[in-house]
Amino acid sequence: QVQLVESGGGLVQAGGSLRLSCAASGRTFSSYAMGWFRQAPGKEREFVAHITWNSGRTYYADSVKGRFTISRDNAKNTVYLQMNSLKPEDTALYYCAAQKYYYGNYVPTSAADFGSWGQGTQVTVSS
């Protein structure tokens, strides 16, 4: 099991950019597919992006497609989320998580399919 720590959040104006990082401990990090989720106040946690263990495939929620990029560096045990053209509706607490099981070509987008959640990093986008 991996332990995850997110960082890189902050306050940014609409149209700006942020790069989130998720540092993992544990020698098995490279074997996990990883996801980013976010949760705004009063709302459920929602899927943002997914990356396979070898960066061979990425997948995005429609709301962030073309603006956000997920990547990973297995040598550094870190997964990233580059966020460009930020909008006020992107304001949320952002979490990374490790996919629980191997699903083949299926990309899970439910929070229930992920574990080892970090504590989250706050992203606030002002208009």
Burial of 121 (0-12, 13-18, 19+ CB in 10 A): buried
- Residue 17's pLDDT is 98
Q: Which residue has the tokens 């297995």?
A: 74
% of residues, the chain, pLDDT over 90: 83
- Residue 55's pLDDT is 79
The answer to whether 48 and 31 are in contact (CB under 8 A) is: no
Which sign, positive or negative, has the C-alpha torsion 37, 6, 18, 40? positive
Q: How confident is the model at residue 83 (pLDDT cuts 50, 70, 90)?
A: very high
**pLDDT(27) > 80:** no
